[in-house]
Structure 1
Amino acid sequence: MSRRRMIYEGKAKILYEGPEPGTLIQYFKDDATAFNAEKKAVLDGKGVLNNRISEFIMQRLAAVGIPNHFIKRLNMREQLIKKVEIIPLEVIVRNVAAGTMSKRLGITEGEALPRAIVEFCYKKDELGDPLVSEEHIAAFGWASPQELDEMISYALRINDFMSGLFAGAGIRLIDFKIEFGRLFEGEMVRTILADEISPDSCRLWDLETNEKLDKDRFRRDMGGVTEAYAEVARRLGIIKESGQVADILDFNNSGK
């Protein structure tokens, strides 16, 4: 990848120019951050697992009619994706009170919400990605009314699909964060799902024990982050046995 021009580096991924116009290569890092990057670490194998999990989910979402930027996985850490103009909003769907919602509204963590709630945050690291309303989005032109409607519709459809997908694997989908982009196709512009879907961007709890299988293990110093991500991959059938986890870590440590 050193011969490729880097387009953007984020907290957990790097984007490089793609082999063809309209494409990018998305590289998954092992870096873990929390609290607006105030807490940082490198977790061996995390990027490899997130690459595989995001590939799996994006493919299945495409199969049920959710357009997204994923084209194909190139190797253990890289995906070929469609180049989009990212809409500067994080779309959060919550099924169960957790994290900032529990603190903000005084709701006990783990309490089921009356219905799925869609929230928006303005993508601005220096401001801490503040929560914003649909009024803010419209007033500042961060997304058009049509784009906003599409993002909400897609977000709820994604929630329905993923809730069932994870429940079938014995996992409760607590909440998740997604991003959307504008895909330019000639004179046409489409709103499509972008970024990633992985335990970095979802809260996932064991259906029976409520054991956390997501990034909260890093946020809360619980340990076993990579092992939890590997458990999610195993339950989804992405990796078969614990031996494949060892292979992932061996690949990671080999420096390839």
Structure 2
Amino acid sequence: MEFTKLGEGKTKEVYSFDEQHVLLKFKDTVTAGDGAKVDVIKDKGVINAQTSALFFRALEREGIKTHYVGMYDERTMIAKRLKMVPVEVVLRNLATGSIVKRLPIKEGEVFDPPIVEFFLKDDARHDPMLNYHHMEFLKLMTRKEAEQVEEVMVRANKVLKGLVERMGLVLYDFKLEFGRLGDELIIGDEISLDSMRVRDREGRIYDKDLYRKGQPLEVVASSYAEFLERLKRVV
């Protein structure tokens, strides 16, 4: 069966499925540096699609609305048709990544309560940070919507952090994206090791930071696969 392609990003292709739904086909590409670094890892798309599906199902069970409907095949998700907002919303439990470069915060510091940040999806500008005023001026979200998104992030963190802890691992941070379904903002895109940072108690990295730090593709692939197998045992 042929489907009309609606768009393509660095790691996914979007196809029309019906009037209310789209297909998200996960690619095997892995990228870093706003797309400046690109490689292919065999079956990475399958792993990320399956990982995302498990996380989305866990959120839905807790009453957190997402675009997830089901799986079309092993690497293709059926999702509600959303009007995506070009904003990345990051929740941080422990300090790592850009925040320790931008602010006088040390690697590994604990954020209690967690910190939520907004970034414009714009590779050319290296995803600049946004506040409520920026988002209102750019007509991305109202302040009320941004506050509601922050509440969803905190609720999602409780679910995702709990699952990761049951795996014997630590959730440092994660990124979610949101889209409009009518007048409502709900979670879209994906939830995978491409969009979260996970370590074990000894500091072993499981996520895309492996690729960012130049580890062999085989190491990245085996880490992603191991994470999925461990996740299957706790959901």
Q: TM-score range by the shorter chain?
A: over 0.9
2:111 maps to 113
Q: Secondary structure at the match of 2:105?
A: coil
The match for 1:28 is 26
Corresponding residue of 1:129? 127
Report the residue type matching 2:59 in the other structure.
Answer: L
Deviation at 1:108, TM superposition (A): 2.6
1:217 aligns with 2:215: no
CA contact (8 A) 2:132 2:143 kept: no
Question: What is the count of residue pairs matched by the alignment?
Answer: 232
For 2:51 and 2:11, locate their aligned partners in 1 and report how far apart those are by CA, in whole Å.
Answer: 14
Is this contact kept in 1: 2:52–2:192, CA < 8 A? yes
Counterparts of 1:210-249 in structure 2, within 5 Å, are 210-223=203-216, 224-237=219-232
Q: Which amino acid aligns with 2:14?
A: L
Q: 1:71 pairs with 69, 72, 75, which one?
A: 69
Q: 2:102 aligns with which of 101, 104, 115?
A: 104
The one-letter amino acid of 2:3's match is R
Secondary structure at 1:88's aligned position in 2?
Answer: strand
Q: Which amino acid in 2 is paired with 1:160?
A: K
Does residue 13 (structure 1) correspond to residue 12 (structure 2)? The answer is: yes
- Per the alignment, residue 85 of structure 2 pairs with 87
Q: 1:28 & 1:113 partners in 2: Cα distance?
A: 32
Contact 1:90 1:177 in 2 (8 A): yes
Asked if structure 1 preserves the Cα contact closer than 8 Å seen for 2:58 and 2:159, the reply is no
Contact 2:119 2:129 (C-alpha < 8 Å) held by counterparts:
yes
Q: Which has the larger radius of gyration?
A: 1
Task: Name the aligned partner's letter for residue 210 of structure 2.
Answer: R
**Counterparts of 1:174-213 in structure 2 under 5 Å?**
174-184=172-182, 189-206=183-200, 208-213=201-206
SS across alignment from 1:33: strand
Letter in 2 for 1:192: I
> What is aligned with 1:148?
146
- Superposition CA RMSD, Å: 1.4
Deviations 1:195-243 (A, max 9, x none): 000000000111x21100000000001231111111111111269xxxx
Structure 2 SS opposite 1:36 = coil
- d(CA) in 2 for partners of 1:85 and 1:217? 32
Q: Is the 8 A contact 1:33 1:40 kept in 2?
A: yes
TM-superposition CA deviations, 1:155-186 (whole Å, max 9, x none): 111011111110001110000110000002xx
| Paired amino acid for 2:117 | E
What letter corresponds to residue 228 of structure 1 in structure 2? S
Match of 1:218, as an amino acid?
Y
Confirm or deny: 8 A CA contact 1:53 1:238 kept in the other structure. Answer: no
CA–CA distance in structure 1, aligned partners of residues 106 and 220 of structure 2: 24
Partner amino acid, structure 1, of 2:7: Y
Q: Gaps spanning 5+ residues in structure 2: where?
A: none
Query: Partner of 1:236: helix, strand, or coil?
Result: helix
Amino acid at match of 1:47: G
Residue 60 of structure 1 pairs with residue 54 of structure 2: no
TM-score, normalised on structure 1? 0.87
SS in 1 for 2:190: coil
Letter in 2 for 1:221: G
Counterpart-to-counterpart distance in 2, 1:67 and 1:199: 21
CA distance in 2, matches of 1:127, 1:46: 27
